Structure 1
Amino acid sequence: MSLLDFLRIVSRNWYWLLFSALSLAILTWGSLKKQAPQYSSHSIINTGLVSNYTIESNEGASIDYAFTNNELQNIINVATSYQTMEELGLRLLAKVLDKRTGKGMLLPESRQDLEEKLGAKVLTKLRAKDPELLQISLMHLRDRNRHGRVYQLLYSDHPLFGIEQLQTIQVERYGNSDMLKISYRTSDPGICQLTLKLLAEIIMETQLSLKKGQSGDVLAFFDEATRKSAAELRAAEDELLGFKVRNKVINYYEQTRFISGKKEDFDEMYYKEMMNLASADSAIQKLEGQLRQRVNLPRLNQSIMDQRKTLTELSTKISTMEIMPDSLEDFSSNDLRKLKRQAEKVRENIRNTVDETWMSTNMPEGLPVKDVLSQWLSSVLKQEESTARMQVIRQRQAEFVHIYDQYAPWGSAIRRMERQIDVNERAYLENLHSFNQARLHQINMMMSSNLKVIDEPVFPKKPEPNKKMLFVVMAFLAGLFIPLGLFIAMYLLDQSLNSVARAEEKTGLKLASALPFVDKFKIGPKARIDFQAINDKAMQQLVHTLKMSNQGQQSPTVAFLSNRSGEGKSWLITRLAAYLEQKGQQVHQIKASDWVTQKQHIQQGLQEQPAWVLVEFPALLEQSEHLLNLNEMNSSVYIAYARKVWSKADERALSRIKECADKPAHLFLNALDLDHMEDVIGEVPKRRNMPRRWLKRMVTLQYS
């Protein structure tokens, strides 16, 4: 579509466009005429997600922008949630109805409207309530009856308290910071300011509650786990303590190390005493063999037997005191020294007895008998002492075997209990650490979620600038361009033959001429368009085309065809005959049904006087039996009504014409749009003022 086509569409439909634009502008002005003035205010809340210093803040740590954006979006979702709007509407209504804070908060007309919405009965009931319980009373009235006035007011489109109005509050991120900007616009300045204040309070309360709830569950879990693990650790420690108390175990590992060392010491002492005893036995046997000839040993042994027995008993007691002092209940060092003195006296008595029994001065080997007896006595005493010490050592070894039998299973039991204590202790420490971390995280979340209002909402003293004219202008433009778009779409989607190029494309025929669509309101002496000149030019083109098609024919025979009746065949034949007769030529008009009977008569007359023979064929979609006579015509004209939509039936009917005719038919468009007549006859003869002529030249780029 060219610019000229666009201008033609506008000029052709300007009155519809103007009517639509003016109508929509007037309706918009009427609808906005009673609109109350609007007041707006805003508030800024600092979330501190990035800027606040918290316990977990680390200098130089990178900022998690994804977390920040997610937290900001969560706060925005909380602020704009349906539950928040319900709570806001309830608090707002309670503040307005409160006798302490509600006076002077509403404009007089807003107060009157509120009282009408609630009714005198509800207002009387609410005024009697304690201001502290007013919000709870409103909640009960709202939830108790969904058809009540309070519920209908809050869940409506009321311009001050309705939830639909409150949902127009805008909450957005303030630039790229971690702050939120809350904007609101309503018809009452006091309500505008109060709504923003209450919404900020609800946002901070809800955010704090959410953070506490999120961290509180984790904290409670680790608290319970810590308590449980502490109880298990205490039970395991008590079990080990009871075991040690029952078995008198102070330090099992030190005690077993001490017992093992002592046992080895006693084993070494036992082997030493065995060697001493064996040495004493060997010495006694040797010395008794030497003394047997000189000394009456049986009598000597008999005389010291009692003393030896006493010495053995004393040696046993002394060994017991020295080796196992812990086994004696009344052990004292004085008793030990006393026993040692007694034993020394017994030894001295034995020596005296031996000294009295020697008989000769020298032994056969030349040794004095006294010396040999002294050696024998020393060996005997040593034998007795070793025997006594070995008895005590064997007793102590037997005790060690009993102790080993006790301590062996104790070690396994103690290790098992210690392992359980270690497991419980590590579990307790891990749970305690997690509990402390959860507490730290909870405190950190409380610090990081400490929202603060840094820009309190101001009381809007002046309403917003009136935008009625802007809306009216926008409505006028919408009423202008929407119909214009529809007209352009209709032009682009037009499937009729109301265009020379489109008609030739769809029919496949060359255009011979065309006649315009004539508006009866544009005909008259004062009409701007000269339709007579247009008709003359159209007839001239048609005659020229037919003459060129029938060169050498003195009396051309022309067939006029159309697919449907009423497309202008008869009218065209009449106009063409009038034009030819005006030019001084003879014309014969005949129906195709009469052509068969009058053909010879007409041809004889044409030999005497040449003339044009115009044959009118019936509509092809209604009657087509005369179409076989088409090949007898010198040329044919296919008449199409330009304003009709070309269909498949039209296409098939035209194909039958092409099959029956020797020559292709000429296309003639009837009722062609006047704007498209320029494509047929050139400049349409009509009166134009100077601006229109200049505008057309500029559009068609004709500057000369």
Structure 2
Amino acid sequence: MGILIYIIKSLYRFKWWLIILPLLVVGIVIYETRHMNRVYESDMTIYTGVISTNGNDLSQTTAQDWNILKNSLLNIINTISSKETLRTVSLRLFARSMINGDPGKDNVYISAEHYKELLKITPKEVLKLIDKSSEDRTVENLKNYEKVDADNFVYGLFNWNHPYFSYGALKKLLIKQVDNSDILSVTYENNDAGITYQTLNILSEVFADEYRTLQYGNTNNVIKYFEAELARIGKDLFLKEDSLTNFNVRNRVIHYDKQTEAITMLDKDYAIREQDALAARDKAKATINQLEVGIGENVKSIKNNAQFLAKLKQIGDINYSISQIESYQADSSFLTLQNPDDTLLKLKSKLKEQESDFKGFIDDYSSQKYTRNGYPNANYVVLWVDELLKLEQAQAEIEVVNNFKKELDNMYSHYSPIGSLLKRQERGINFTEQNYLAVLGGLNAARLRLKSIEMNSATLKVINPPTFPLNSKPTKRKMLVAGSYFGTLFFLLGCVLLLEMLDRTLRDKFRTERITKGKVVGAFPKNNLGRYQKDIEEIASKTIANQLFGYYSSQKPSNYINILKLDPFLDTQDLQQRIMKEWQEIGLHVGILEEGTHFNATSREFLVMGGLLEQIQSLGNDLTFVVHADLSKVPVPADYLDHASVNVLVLNAQAVWKEDDEEAYRDLLKRIGNTPLVLCLCHADRFTIETFTGMLPPYSLLRKLEYKFSQLGITASKG
């Protein structure tokens, strides 16, 4: 509560500032707003059809959600408020105002006053562009004249700060969705009724065209992009397919997987045939070797016979040809016969003839009838010849198989890299084909989107056109006046409170105790309180005297009060005399000892010998004032401070509490021992003194009310 009273008293000190300055500001605001512009408002509503026509989008495969619908509405709102749309409105609005304006009277296009102001700022070369007979030609002339230049008037209309035609003025259009419907509400206000009406009127004409242009332009660009990509990817696809065809032709590939499978099967078959032929050859060789042992020397002559060798070679050649033909018949897709006339049947028949001839030659050639073992020689030769023929047949088979395996190895070498190359080209074709189909799908979706835009754009209609405003909106003059008053008042209150928080001037009891952390027992007035000065001084001194007498002790041999000060220019004589007079009037013996008059503070007797205490006792007074010099100049021994009834530090209420004062005060607190140290304020104002004395004269009704409210006695019936 004490803090609250202190704040109220602090504000009361600045009461004239808080009363006069806000009223002065209010007067200035009232004067400056005497010709305040009136504001006219008009609105219109637009049906978008975004929500109602949901599902009519041909490119849409699933139902739209609310986020998509909200986004569509935002696109329309942003198109209406876009810079390009507002630029078109600005040019048309200027052209319409210049064509239809009348300097003699207001009309539905522009007021006479504002039209005359517009004529003043419009250059002559721009006035020549105005075609009174056609608004479209005027707009076209203005577009041709406009260029990006700070000195170009038409360019500046939209980009400067004109109140009607600039972007800053037109962007104040308020566009919002009505509830959750398809309808948009567009509101605009300005200080000219005609301009307000015509702005919305022109906007209702151009916004749909701007929306269609924007939507069509984007979609057409997408369609052109997809068409170009489709042609490029299609050409790439055809080239890759032709490259694959040529690759198959060059490498004789019809069906790669089946061809490679056939080669693998042939390789397996010929491996088996080779094993069989090798087994037959080894068997024939073993039998021949055994029979040659039985035949003896005849075999050498037979082997050395040229006719024998020739016939044996012919039989081997025929066996090779037969084996080769039989091998080629297994898969005729790889090889063809070099001589079609040598059919398999002829060769087999010829082989029989040659074998028969060979056997006859051997029979005729044989010269011995019996072998060395006694067996008929002819039987051995026949067996030997048969085995020899088998050997030739087996060797021919082995040679054919080896030759064909070489051809199979060549086929492996040929077809192995073809597989990876084929897969690479097929992957490329597949990837290009997928891209082609994706681009084709995008192109179809874009074309469907174009048709959907045509359908949706047809639903953009103004259902409630703008109306010409006849009455202006209530002005904000009252709010400005009230705001200026309370704004100034709160600003002053903030400054006062900030000042109270930062100011270190002692001034009153609350602030002094807060800054010094000491106890204030009284305050003595300054010398400008008018005709009640003496009365106030008397009341204040009596209060201080009563407070100080409370420290009197009958147990002490002598009671004295140290009067201390930190300011060498502070005069405490009047305060001392007033207190002494109060005590003397009630019969107390009071004396006073002043430094420089009754004792010397710089003498050894005072500083060391304690002569001041003996001097006080010799006076025999009930109370004695001991007035010391400035503490910063003359030291006071601790014994004098400790034996006193009370130590009174007198401070100037109008002085600032400095850092050196703080240090001296702390030092004093250390040296006083158990003796109290109290503070007393001099040169205090009325409110500070009333803290100790209560209400001071005069006691008029106004003063009583003022004091009652300062003490928060709002409903008190008695002061």
TM-score (ref. length: structure 2): 0.63
Structure 1 residue 581: deviation in Å? Answer: 4.5
1:484 is aligned to 493
Letter in 2 for 1:574: Q
CA distance in 2, matches of 1:237, 1:601: 128
1:563 is aligned to 566
Of 138, 143, 152, 2:142 maps to 138
Structure 2 CA distance for partners of 1:643 and 1:596, relative to 1, 3 Å: closer
Is contact 1:570-1:616 (8 Å) kept?
A: no
Of 612, 615, 621, 2:626 maps to 615
Give yes or no for the alignment of 1:28 onto 2:29.
yes
1:117 is aligned to 121
CA distance in 2, matches of 1:637, 1:448: 93
Is contact 1:45-1:179 (8 Å) kept?
A: yes
2:23 counterpart SS class: helix
CA distance in 1, matches of 2:618, 2:206: 109
1:398 is aligned to none
Identify unmatched segments of 5+ residues in structure 1: 247-251, 257-408, 525-529
Structure 2 CA distance for partners of 1:595 and 1:13, relative to 1, 3 Å: same
2:175 is aligned to 171
Of 539, 542, 545, 2:541 maps to 539
CA distance in 2, matches of 1:540, 1:92: 84
1:214-246: CA deviation from partner (whole Å, max 9, x where unpaired) = 3334322322233344455667889999999x9
CA distance in 1, matches of 2:164, 2:637: 81
TM-score (ref. length: structure 1): 0.64
2:681 is aligned to 669
Letter in 1 for 2:552: N
Give yes or no for the alignment of 1:658 onto 2:669.
yes
CA distance in 2, matches of 1:687, 1:556: 41
Structure 2 CA distance for partners of 1:442 and 1:534, relative to 1, 3 Å: same
CA distance in 1, matches of 2:10, 2:211: 61
Give yes or no for the alignment of 1:641 onto 2:652.
yes
CA distance in 1, matches of 2:619, 2:238: 144
Alignment of 1:529-608 (within 5 A): 532=534, 534-552=536-554, 556-583=559-586, 585=588, 587-597=590-600, 607=618
Give yes or no for the alignment of 1:504 onto 2:513.
yes
Structure 2 CA distance for partners of 1:579 and 1:421, relative to 1, 3 Å: closer
Structure 1 residue 591: deviation in Å? Answer: 3.3
1:449-470: CA deviation from partner (whole Å, max 9, x where unpaired) = 6643333221112222344234
Structure 2 CA distance for partners of 1:532 and 1:463, relative to 1, 3 Å: same
1:401 is aligned to none
Letter in 1 for 2:668: I
Is contact 1:512-1:666 (8 Å) kept?
A: yes
1:143 counterpart SS class: coil
1:588-626: CA deviation from partner (whole Å, max 9, x where unpaired) = 4443244434987996697466365433323334x1335
CA distance in 1, matches of 2:510, 2:102: 79
1:186 is aligned to 190
Structure 2 CA distance for partners of 1:696 and 1:234, relative to 1, 3 Å: closer
Structure 1 residue 114: deviation in Å? Answer: 0.8
CA distance in 1, matches of 2:576, 2:545: 12
Is contact 1:50-1:63 (8 Å) kept?
A: no
Letter in 2 for 1:665: L
Of 499, 520, 523, 1:514 maps to 523
1:649-675: CA deviation from partner (whole Å, max 9, x where unpaired) = 222111222233342322212344544
Structure 2 CA distance for partners of 1:59 and 1:51, relative to 1, 3 Å: farther
Give yes or no for the alignment of 1:438 onto 2:446.
yes
Is contact 1:118-1:150 (8 Å) kept?
A: no
1:91-149: CA deviation from partner (whole Å, max 9, x where unpaired) = 32122234699986221112111111114453135449975342243234442652244
1:345-393: CA deviation from partner (whole Å, max 9, x where unpaired) = xxxxxxxxxxxxxxxxxxxxxxxxxxxxxxxxxxxxxxxxxxxxxxxxx
CA distance in 2, matches of 1:427, 1:610: 120
CA distance in 2, matches of 1:692, 1:661: 41
2:635 is aligned to 625
Is contact 2:108-2:468 (8 Å) kept?
A: no
2:203 is aligned to 199
Aligned pair count?
Answer: 538
Identify unmatched segments of 5+ residues in structure 2: 259-414
Is contact 2:518-2:679 (8 Å) kept?
A: yes
Letter in 1 for 2:450: Q
CA distance in 2, matches of 1:198, 1:498: 69
1:235-272: CA deviation from partner (whole Å, max 9, x where unpaired) = 7889999999x9xxxxx99xx9xxxxxxxxxxxxxxxx
Of 54, 57, 64, 1:55 maps to 57
Structure 2 CA distance for partners of 1:164 and 1:224, relative to 1, 3 Å: closer
Structure 2 CA distance for partners of 1:428 and 1:667, relative to 1, 3 Å: closer
Is contact 1:627-1:657 (8 Å) kept?
A: no
Letter in 2 for 1:655: R
Structure 1 residue 515: deviation in Å? Answer: 2.6
2:65 counterpart SS class: coil
1:596 counterpart SS class: coil
Structure 1 residue 184: deviation in Å? Answer: 1.5
Structure 1 residue 5: deviation in Å? Answer: 4.6
CA distance in 2, matches of 1:173, 1:645: 64
CA distance in 2, matches of 1:636, 1:592: 16
Structure 1 residue 33: deviation in Å? Answer: 1.4
2:701 counterpart SS class: coil
Q: State percent identity of aligned pairs.
A: 23
Give yes or no for the alignment of 1:45 onto 2:46.
yes
Structure 2 CA distance for partners of 1:484 and 1:119, relative to 1, 3 Å: same
Structure 2 CA distance for partners of 1:453 and 1:128, relative to 1, 3 Å: closer
Of 682, 687, 694, 2:700 maps to 687
Alignment of 1:286-365 (within 5 A): none
